[in-house]
Amino acid sequence: MDLSAINPILLLASLMVAATPILLAAIGELVVERAGVLNLGVEGMMITGAVCGFIVTINAGSPLLGFAGAAIGGALLALVFGVLTQVLLSNQVATGLALTLFGLGFAALLGQGYIGIKAPVIPKWPVPVLSDIPVIGPILFNHDPVVYLGIAIIAGVWAFLRYSRAGLILRAVGENHDAAHALGYHVIRVRLLAIMFGGACAGLGGAYLSLVRVPQWTEGLTAGAGWIALAIVVFASWRPWRLLLGAYLFGGVTVLQLNLQAAGMAIPVAYLSMAPYLATILVLVMMRAGRAPGSLAQSFHASR
Amino acid sequence: MIRLEKRTAPSRFWTYAAPLLAVVLTMVCGALLFAALGKDPFETIRTIFWDPLFSEFSWYYRPQLLIKAAPLVLIAIGLSFGFRAGVWNIGAEGQYILGAICGAAVGLAFYPTESPFIFPLMVMAGALGGWAWAMIPGFLRVRFGTNEILVSLMLVYVAQSLLASMALGALRNPDASGFPGSRNLARYPSATSWINESAGLHWGVVFALIAVIFAYITLSRHIFGFHVRLSGQSPRAARFAGVNPGLLVLICMAISGALAGLAGLFEVAGPSGLISIDFNAGYGFTAIIVAFLGRLHPVGILLAAGLMALTYIGGEIAQSNLRLPAAAIQVLQGMLLFFLLAVDVLTHYRIRLTARGVA
Residues of chain B with C-beta less than 8 angstroms from the C-beta of A257:
none
Per-residue pLDDT, B356: 60
Q: Give the minimum alpha-carbon distance from B222 to chain A in angstroms, rounded to a whole number.
A: 27
Cβ contacts of A196 within 8 Å, gap of 6 or more:
A75, A78, A79, A82
Q: Phi and psi dihedrals of A295, rounded to 5?
A: -100, 20
Cβ contacts of A153 within 8 Å, gap of 6 or more:
A24, A27, A201
Q: Is the C-alpha dihedral spanning A261, A264, A265, A266 positive or negative?
A: positive
Of B90, B145, B359, the CB nearest to A97: B90
Alpha-carbon distance of A166 to A143, in angstroms, equals: 32
Q: Do B335 and A268 touch (CB under 8 A)?
A: no
Alpha-carbon distance of B314 to B33, in angstroms, equals: 16
Residues B95 and B260: beta-carbon distance below 8 Å: yes
User: What's the average model confidence in pLDDT over B262-275?
Assistant: 87
Query: In sequence order, what DSSP letters do the residues of A5-20 get, joined into one string?
Result: GS-HHHHHHHHHHHHH
Residues A24 and A45: beta-carbon distance below 8 Å: no
* Summary mean pLDDT of chain B: 86
Residues of chain A with C-beta less than 8 angstroms from the C-beta of B345:
88-90
What SS3 class is residue B5? strand
Q: Is A182 on the interface with B (CB under 8 A)?
A: no
Residues A2 and A264: beta-carbon distance below 8 Å: yes
Task: State the pLDDT confidence band at B94, using cuts at 50, 70 and 90.
Answer: very high
Q: Is A129 on the interface with B (CB under 8 A)?
A: no
**Which of A78, A70, A26, A30 minimizes the C-alpha distance to A50?**
A70
Residues of chain B with C-beta less than 8 angstroms from the C-beta of A304:
359
User: Using CB atoms within 10 A of its CB, is residue B287 exposed (0-12), middle (13-18) or buried (19+)?
Assistant: buried
A156: pLDDT strictly greater than 90:
yes
Residues B125 and B197: beta-carbon distance below 8 Å: no
Of B146, B331, B344, the CB nearest to A284: B146
**Which of A187, A141, A147, A145 minimizes the C-alpha distance to A303?**
A187
**Which of B163, B182, B158 minimizes the C-alpha distance to B99?**
B163
pLDDT tens-digit map of A164-189: 999 999 999 888 888 888 888 888 89
**Distance between terminal CA atoms of chain B?**
11
Of A102, A277, A289, the CB nearest to B338: A102
Cis peptide before B112 (omega within 30 of 0): yes
User: Using CB atoms within 10 A of its CB, is residue B62 exposed (0-12), middle (13-18) or buried (19+)?
Assistant: middle
Residues of chain B with C-beta less than 8 angstroms from the C-beta of A230:
150
Cβ contacts of A175 within 8 Å, gap of 6 or more:
A36, A293, A294, A295
A3: pLDDT strictly greater than 70:
no
Q: What is the DSSP letter of B323?
A: -
Q: Give the minimum alpha-carbon distance from B327 to chain A in angstroms, rounded to a whole number.
A: 5
Alpha-carbon distance of A54 to A72, in angstroms, equals: 13
Of B4, B88, B337, the CB nearest to A98: B337
Best of A33, A83, A102, A218 to disrupt the B interface (most B CBs within 10 Å) is A102
Q: Give the minimum alpha-carbon distance from A97 to chain B in angstroms, rounded to a whole number.
A: 9
Query: Which residue type, as a one-letter code, is found at position B268?
Result: V
More confident position, B151 or A300: B151
Of A80, A112, A284, the CB nearest to B150: A284
Q: Give the minimum alpha-carbon distance from A133 to chain B in angstroms, rounded to a whole number.
A: 39
In chain A the domains, ranked by start, together with CATH numbers, are: 3-111+145-286 (1.10.3470)
Alpha-carbon distance of A90 to A251, in angstroms, equals: 34
Alpha-carbon distance of B192 to A299, in angstroms, equals: 48
Q: Give the minimum alpha-carbon distance from A158 to chain B in angstroms, rounded to a whole number.
A: 25
Q: What is the DSSP letter of B176?
A: S
Alpha-carbon distance of A31 to A202, in angstroms, equals: 12
**Which of B173, B199, B177 minimizes the C-alpha distance to B187?**
B173
Residues of chain A with C-beta less than 8 angstroms from the C-beta of B145:
288-289
Q: Do A274 and B328 touch (CB under 8 A)?
A: no
Q: Do B164 and A270 touch (CB under 8 A)?
A: yes
Q: Is A273 on the interface with B (CB under 8 A)?
A: yes
Nearest CA in chain B to A270: B161
Per-residue pLDDT, B62: 83
pTM over 0.90: no
pLDDT tens-digit map of B299-352: 999 999 998 888 888 888 888 888 888 888 888 888 888 898 888 888 888 887
Alpha-carbon distance of B72 to B304, in angstroms, equals: 9
Q: Is A25 on the interface with B (CB under 8 A)?
A: no
Alpha-carbon distance of B200 to B191, in angstroms, equals: 17
Alpha-carbon distance of B27 to B320, in angstroms, equals: 20
User: What's the average model confidence in pLDDT over A111-121?
Assistant: 79
Residues of chain B with C-beta less than 8 angstroms from the C-beta of A303:
6
Q: Do A101 and B289 touch (CB under 8 A)?
A: yes
Of A94, A230, A231, the CB nearest to B292: A94
Alpha helix (H) residue ranges in A164-186: 165-175, 177-182
A34: pLDDT strictly greater than 70:
yes
In chain B the domains, ranked by start, together with CATH numbers, are: 38-324 (1.10.3470)
What SS3 class is residue B3? strand
The rounded Cα A198 to chain-centroid distance in angstroms is 8
Residues of chain A with C-beta less than 8 angstroms from the C-beta of B155:
277, 281
Nearest CA in chain A to B166: A270
User: What's the average model confidence in pLDDT over B68-88?
Assistant: 92
Alpha-carbon distance of B157 to B229, in angstroms, equals: 31
Instruction: Please report, rounded to a whole number, the percentage of residues in chain A having pLDDT higher than 70.
Output: 95
Residues B131 and B261: beta-carbon distance below 8 Å: yes
Per-residue pLDDT, B301: 93
Cis peptide before B235 (omega within 30 of 0): no
Residues A109 and B331: beta-carbon distance below 8 Å: yes
ipTM: 0.83
Alpha-carbon distance of B318 to B44, in angstroms, equals: 7
User: What's the average model confidence in pLDDT over B135-148?
Assistant: 90
What SS3 class is residue B157? helix
Residues B286 and B333: beta-carbon distance below 8 Å: yes
A304: pLDDT strictly greater than 60:
no
Nearest CA in chain A to B37: A109
Q: How many CB atoms lie within 10 A of CB A88?
A: 18
Query: In sequence order, what DSSP letters do the residues of A109-145 get, joined into one string?
Result: HHTGGGBTPBPPPPPPEEPTTGGGSTTHHHHHSEE-H
Pairing of strands B2-6, B349-353: antiparallel
**Which of A136-150, B2-16, B121-135, B169-183: highest mean pLDDT?**
B121-135
